[in-house]
Amino acid sequence: MKIYQNSSEPIYKQIAAQLRDDILSGKLRGGEALPSIRGLAQDLKISVITTMKAYEELANEGLVTASQGKGYFVNAQDMRLLAEQHMRRVEENLTEAIRSAKIAGMTLGELQETLSALWSLDAG
């Protein structure tokens, strides 16, 4: 897991986003335990509160469940529902990107070229 201290996105959001992607892609499956809150906090050299906030966000979205004394576990997911949720996130992100591109004065062609270049760079 990677976090960027200098990002405008809060660290807990970065953690939640990466775990969410792992759940939605099926990399983390129903019933699997998330890393312990303390363990992840130590690995990333962040506070336990930050990690807990990320896990609580995922719990509020229904992606994970807390089991007292045992940790957080991925909920079993309906793959069709997961795909729809993932599509909504993509649409939200693209809407924001379009808004930003228009503010920056980019043309549709420039935005498409940028998207194409970024698509090619991403190994995932």
User: Is residue 54 within 8 Å of residue 101, measured between CB atoms?
Assistant: no
Buried b / exposed e over 96-124, threshold 16 CB at 10 Å, is eeeeebeeeebeeeebeeeeeeeeeeeee
- Confidence (pTM): 0.67
90 & 53 share domain: no
Exposed/middle/buried for residue 89 (C-beta within 10 Å: 0-12, 13-18, 19+): middle
Q: How does pLDDT run along the chain (124 residues), one tens digit per residue? A: 888 888 889 999 999 999 998 988 889 988 999 999 999 999 999 999 999 999 999 999 889 999 999 999 999 876 677 778 778 888 999 999 999 999 999 999 999 999 999 888 875 5
Residues 17 and 37 in one domain: yes
44 and 90: one domain? no
Q: Which domain holds residue 115?
A: 79-121
Instruction: Kindly state whether residues 17 and 68 are assigned to the same domain.
Output: yes
106 Cβ contact list (under 8 Å, min separation 6):
114
Give the count of domains, the chain.
2
Q: Give every CB contact of residue 52 below 8 A, 6+ residues apart in sequence.
A: 37
